[in-house]
A = this chain, B = another copy of it.
Amino acid sequence: MGEHTVRSFDEELQHVDQLIRDMGDLSGAMVAGAIRALLTSDQALAQNVVADDTIMDAKQRDLDNSAITLIAKRQPMAQDLRAVVGAIRMAGDLERIGDLAKNIAKRVGAVGQSPTPRNLSHSIDAMAQLVLGQVRGVVDLYVARQAEGLKDLRADDQKIDIQYTAVFRELLTYMMEDPRNITACTHLLFCAKNLERIGDHVTNIAENAYFVVTGTQLPLNRPKVDETTTTVPA
């Protein structure tokens, strides 16, 4: 839609909401693509994910501009203002998820040149599936305005953190076992960390979506299991 189109207030709100859905769908596709590219060493797919990030950035700029213009021009009251501000924040997190998926995709080449131990692929895949489920889930729950579901989904981030700690420790042992694993494992370490951070952005989105839907904040202190910053395996 061109910027000179005259839109009603509701149409403007719907435009912002549609952009969030688009960005949500794209972030799910990018995460799924990056994981598949990583686990199957698919360079062409990895390139697609990298290219998708440009679309994501353009969508965010569109949303940001639409939302700010809407606030300045329409002076929306409480609930609508909450929805628009919430959309700006959710868009920020969705854009970051796209960025992290792109970063995983960019590492496909470096990882692919070393044989990855089979068990390790399994652990990373398990973590990736948890993350992908969260990314897709949070967008669906926001679209369906399911407050309770968003609350439960936020709590599930803990599972990702636990799986990340397991992958982190496993990668360290592979590196210690054989120096030839170090380069690939280092890149996989960053991929796993990126997946864990995608989980954190999903948490932010769940919190903002909950606020948009209910008008109240979820309690701040989600139990955060972040063990790897202090992990020193024997």
User: Interface residues, chain A, CB within 8 Å of chain B?
Assistant: 64, 68, 71-73, 75-76, 81, 85, 92, 103, 106-107, 109-110, 113-114, 172, 175-176, 179, 182-183, 186-187, 189-190, 193, 226, 229-233
Return chain B residues, CB-CB under 8 Å to A231: 110, 183
9 closest Cβ pairs, A-B complex:
A106-B229, A176-B179, A175-B182, A71-B71, A107-B229, A110-B232, A110-B230, A72-B75, A68-B85
Asked if residues A229 and B103 are in contact (CB atoms below 8 Å), the reply is yes
Query: How distant is the Cα of A157 from the Cα of B81 in the complex, in angstroms?
Result: 37
Instruction: Please report the C-alpha to C-alpha distance between residue A113 and residue B193 in the assembled complex, in whole angstroms.
Output: 22
A109 to chain B, nearest CB (A): 6
Contact residues in B for A189 (Cβ distance below 8 Å): 186, 189
Checking B64, B187, B232 against A229 with a beta-carbon cut-off of 8 angstroms, the contacting residue is B187
Query: Please, how many angstroms separate the alpha-carbon atoms of A30 and B46 in the complex?
Result: 36
Q: How many copies does the complex hold?
A: 2
Distance of A186 Cα from B185 Cα, bound (Å):
10
With a cutoff of 8 Å between Cβ atoms, the chain B residues found around residue A230 in the complex are 106-107, 109-110
In the assembled complex, the Cα of A106 lies from the Cα of B229 at a distance in Å of: 6
Q: Contact between A113 and B187 (Cβ–Cβ < 8 Å)?
A: no
In the complex formed, the residue of B with least CB distance to A187 is B229
Minimum CB distance partner of A96 in chain B: B96
**Is A76 within 8 A of B85, CB to CB?**
no
Shortest Cβ distance from residue A79 to the other chain B in the assembled complex, whole angstroms: 13
Find the B residue at minimum CB distance from A99. B200
What chain B residues lie within 8 Å of A183 (beta carbons)? 172, 231-233
The CA of A226 and the CA of B190, in the complex, are separated in Å by 14
A136 to B182: give the CA distance in the assembly, Å.
35
Of the candidates B68, B182, B193, the one whose C-beta lies within 8 Å of that of A182 is B182
Taken together as a complex, chains A and B put the C-alpha atoms of A103 and B71 apart, in Å, by 35
Residue among B72, B109, B113, B175 making CB contact with A175, cutoff 8 Å: B175
